[in-house]
Chains A and B, each alone.
Chain A
């Protein structure tokens, strides 16, 4: 199977690899997937409570090249966005940007889930209730 140049680039030079302190009240952590499924993504964001702007994003991923690329891209995209803007990112945007084949669409779904999970965690820390629609997961 051939990978798109963008997947290869993210795989070779993953952006924003690392971890943020989980206990920091401004850090939201999303951990999605399962080892037995072959994919686990951890996405963390440091969000300014005043402006709701995502100031930092870090990821670690266990998974195939497309999963690594999807989460690397997600960190790039959410950085500098507001929480609402980040929540508007759809898995199909990731599919398009990385030219993922149908068999790898679940990687993009996982990345979208990770964004939502991380923001959900941050909102919980700040006592913000998630609207019902945003809770919907795959």
Chain B
């Protein structure tokens, strides 16, 4: 069967809206367009009912109750709200926050911002496999620590942190635990009770929902978490997030969560199968390819691999009918290679050669086979073009060479 091109395999960046999600959303643009805050007519009631239904769907996916779900404009806002909201509310209690070096920028830059306002932030290193060390975490806790914020799964390497263990440590010390759950929710079972999570940021567009909508879980009991709002206004969402609710978006997020919950057991097995097929195919046909990060603790749909001696952007150019992304400097605005791979201790030379594959609900086995063939073809061609590959084959140790840098 011929595959349809281009192939989308960048599902950590975003996902297409599932047709079932779109269908659920459509009535709320036209006929049921009411403002969920309108208490005095049926248009408002219909909107409110839809929002409350979505709240229940989101809550159910993460084993929370619907009153613990706040709707936002997306996970960047949720990350900002959970970190700044705790920091401001509890700054009398302490000014120390613990995070880790490979968080998403929505967390890292929020923490950097707080540092300018008198907070002290510890950025834990990660181990070679991409996970945070519990010993490092324990050692970093101080009497002034009010918040630990560690992502569930990383967006580049898909590595899953020991969240339940971190949650346990945080709970024992009476420290709030805020989690960026963007890549994990809907992909692996996330349970705020089991994992002792106090705050959890969720995005719709990573789980086949629409862009521009997200949620924040805020624990209501044991302990009851209070937050300072970062957006002031009409007091929506129990005062934690003002602004007229994006009803169609919220309906979409709810439906996406419902589908994810129902289909996750089967879908994760299917995605893992595709991912393992991709990995095995590439490893069988190419030498000197390296997986970045733990394979054991990893999202089922992620593969991040370095293809030694082949620069990532040139690789992307060669596979231009396949949408993936690279940790190469040339693909970033800063001309710096991936800070995530760097933190893992991946050499900068190999970081430049990395490709992130993000499989999704709509990928097929035929697409995976096409990507394997295409990757092998392009990597082989570019290695013939690579002076580094030639030198390696001649037995020259590239890492020991003296390079003339600009």
Q: How many residues of B contact A (CB 8 A)?
A: 28
- Give chain A residues whose Cβ lies under 8 Å from the Cβ of B405: 33-34, 37
Q: Does A60 contact B (CB under 8 A)?
A: yes
Q: Does A106 contact B (CB under 8 A)?
A: yes
Once the chains are docked, how many angstroms separate the CA of A38 from the CA of B385?
A: 14
The answer to whether A65 and B314 touch across the interface, beta carbons within 8 angstroms, is yes
- Give chain B residues whose Cβ lies under 8 Å from the Cβ of A123: none
Q: Mark A29-63, 1 if CB is under 8 A from B, else 0.
A: 00111111111111000000000000000001111
The answer to whether A17 and B384 touch across the interface, beta carbons within 8 angstroms, is yes
Q: Does B309 contact A (CB under 8 A)?
A: yes
The answer to whether A63 and B314 touch across the interface, beta carbons within 8 angstroms, is yes
Known: A65-B313, A106-B406. A42 touches B329 (CB 8 A): no
Once the chains are docked, how many angstroms separate the CA of A32 from the CA of B352?
A: 17
Known: A32-B404, A103-B335, A106-B406. A38 touches B329 (CB 8 A): yes
Once the chains are docked, how many angstroms separate the CA of A38 from the CA of B405?
A: 11
Of A31, A40, A60, A62, the most chain B CB neighbours within 10 A belong to: A62
Across the interface, B328 reaches (CB within 8 A) one of A17, A40, A64, A106, namely A64
Q: Does A92 contact B (CB under 8 A)?
A: no
Once the chains are docked, how many angstroms separate the CA of A104 from the CA of B329?
A: 12
Known: A31-B387, A106-B406. A38 touches B347 (CB 8 A): no
Once the chains are docked, how many angstroms separate the CA of A58 from the CA of B385?
A: 11
Across the interface, B317 reaches (CB within 8 A) one of A3, A34, A41, A106, namely A3
Q: Does A4 contact B (CB under 8 A)?
A: no
- Give chain B residues whose Cβ lies under 8 Å from the Cβ of A109: 406
The answer to whether B403 and A35 touch across the interface, beta carbons within 8 angstroms, is yes
Across the interface, A38 reaches (CB within 8 A) one of B317, B330, B386, namely B330
Across the interface, A37 reaches (CB within 8 A) one of B314, B384, B406, namely B406
Q: Mark B330-353, 1 if CB is under 8 A from A, else 0.
A: 100001010000000001110010
- Give chain A residues whose Cβ lies under 8 Å from the Cβ of B310: 62
Q: Mark A85-126, 1 if CB is under 8 A from B, else 0.
A: 000000000000000000100100110000001000000000
Q: Which residue of B lies closest to A34 (CB)?
A: B403
Q: Please give the distance in Å from B344's CB to the nearest CB on chain A.
A: 15
Q: Please give the distance in Å from A77's CB to the nearest CB on chain B.
A: 18
The answer to whether A33 and B403 touch across the interface, beta carbons within 8 angstroms, is yes
- Give chain B residues whose Cβ lies under 8 Å from the Cβ of A137: 404
The answer to whether A60 and B349 touch across the interface, beta carbons within 8 angstroms, is no
Q: Does A80 contact B (CB under 8 A)?
A: no
- Give chain B residues whose Cβ lies under 8 Å from the Cβ of A63: 311, 314, 330
Of A31, A35, A61, the most chain B CB neighbours within 10 A belong to: A35
Q: Please give the distance in Å from A39's CB to the nearest CB on chain B.
A: 7
Q: Mark B308-331, 1 if CB is under 8 A from A, else 0.
A: 011101100110000000001110
The answer to whether A35 and B385 touch across the interface, beta carbons within 8 angstroms, is no
- Give chain A residues whose Cβ lies under 8 Å from the Cβ of B330: 38, 63-64
Seen from chain A, the residues whose Cβ lies within 8 Å of a Cβ on chain B are 3, 8, 11, 14, 17, 19, 31-42, 60-65, 67-68, 103, 106, 109-110, 117, 137-138
18 intermolecular pairs with C-beta atoms under 8 Å apart: A11-B318, A33-B404, A33-B405, A33-B406, A34-B403, A34-B404, A36-B352, A37-B348, A40-B388, A60-B390, A61-B385, A61-B386, A62-B309, A62-B388, A64-B328, A65-B313, A65-B317, A68-B314
* Minimum-distance CB pairs A-B, first 4: A34-B403, A35-B349, A36-B348, A42-B387
